Amino acid sequence: MTNRITGFHTADVRFPTSRHRDGSDALNPFPDYSAAYLEIETSEGDHGYGFAFTVGRGNDVQLAAIEALRPMVVGRDVYELVSDLGAVSVSLVGDSQLRWLGPAKGAIHMAASAVLNSLWDLKARRAGLPLWRLLAELPAAELVGAIDFRYLRDALTPAEALDILERGKEGKEERVGDLLATGFPAYTTTPGWLGYDDEKLARLSLEAKNDGFGMIKLKVGLDLDEDRRRLGIARAAVGDLPIGIDANQAWGVAEAIDWVNGLREYEPYWIEEPTSPDDILGHAAVRRAVSPIRVATGEHVHNAVMFKQLLQAQAVDVVQIDACRVGGVNENLAILLMAKKFGVAVCPHAGGVGLCELVQHLSMFDYVAVSGTTDGRMVEYVDHLHEHFVDPVVIRDGRYVAPTTPGMSAQLRPEAVLEYLYPSGPAWVSPPAARSGSDALIGG
């Protein structure tokens, strides 16, 4: 008997984060961080986990999109699938009917991401390696074979990708040792949500500095005077520690330029999402006008073709990949390699539900096998919801500790899935006031 995919289980998991305004920003006043969660199972009892992150409403739509991909996976031979994830990627992203809902963007693309990531998780678990290490040890040709170059060749050819990976082998073992010893740099967004008061902002900013984080990040974009005041408080608290600012797409191009220049005296390290994530030319115009303040974007950039153009147009200083937005590990490999070619730092978006858990693997792979450096590289860290994961991220001295457990760290604790199942789980059914105990997010 061959080993086949026999189980494809989805769950609508939502955390009622809006009750505390954790995660509030200019365009997301009241998010309920959620996972459209997927567990795949094989006839030999192997498992793989993946999910798409959403902020509440629409998590059911996201699940429907994942369910639409079920027939392309269930019944398939596991070895065939995980030995050619490039072909799987093309079949999922390029399905001749489903691609109309994208193509390669929005809910259907995030669904492909969830499925592809679950297969990478499965592959890494079968190999007994954490994903970052599996990627670092795979033959360069297999990694290149995982990428769909159809629309990317004008920026990166397969031969160039191979060359980057071959060159990345030099010193790799040293970097693996360094990573295992000291971890990967992180920055934190925990102090900077718009809903927090001044005292909390100052206190959390200083804590972040003392904890060793490489940067703190503040949400901006609702009110310029208020942003100046809050940036002043944070700057006073952290001294010369870098402070990133994040507008979450609040502005048009001219407004972005004026607003960011109005914050110049606080020396922001980067401005993140100054305008529409689709506006490549707009980002380029903003970047020219606010230099030396860096421009960062990516958490809503929907695929590698868009990242390609952001690089070609010199529109960004920092590429912020997201583990769940683009087509999974496959498309993120393409983005990491393009960023390397264009000499741009990758500082992933994280936070949400499990985004830190997933994306740390990609940055660690980037360091050991692609970019070869941690200079100017940091993974976002937000101290939310990690307790619900089987293999949660560990932060030590403001850095991500390299995971050693096999897989992509994507598995939720089974109890958490049941507790936060929407709308039937206890977290949603019981009135918060009547509950107590371990869950700090409920009540208060």
Residues with a catalytic annotation lie at: 219, 349
Looking at the Cβ atoms of 300 and 413, the one nearer to a second copy is 300
Residue 281 interacting with a second copy (CB under 8 A) = yes
What's the distance, CA 403 to chain centroid?
Answer: 16
Which of 275, 330, 374, 409 is in the footprint of a second copy by CB under 8 A? 275
Residue 168 interacting with a second copy (CB under 8 A) = no
Which of 62, 205, 297, 374 is in the footprint of a second copy by CB under 8 A? 62
Residue 285 interacting with a second copy (CB under 8 A) = yes
Looking at the Cβ atoms of 105 and 133, the one nearer to a second copy is 105
Residue 258: CB minimum distance to a second copy, A: 12
Subset of residues 133 to 152 that bind a second copy, contact rule: CB under 8 A: 149-152
Residue 254 interacting with a second copy (CB under 8 A) = yes
Residue 376 interacting with a second copy (CB under 8 A) = no
Site string for a second copy, 17-36 (x = CB under 8 A): ----------xxxxxx----
Burial of 20 (0-12, 13-18, 19+ CB in 10 A): middle
Residue 279: CB minimum distance to a second copy, A: 5
Residue 102 interacting with a second copy (CB under 8 A) = yes
Residue 98 interacting with a second copy (CB under 8 A) = yes
Looking at the Cβ atoms of 168 and 277, the one nearer to a second copy is 277
Residue 65 interacting with a second copy (CB under 8 A) = yes
* Residues of the shown chain interacting with a second copy in the complex, contacts defined by CB under 8 A: 27-32, 53-58, 60-62, 64-65, 68, 94-110, 149-154, 249, 251-254, 275-282, 285, 300, 302-303, 305-306, 308-309, 312-313
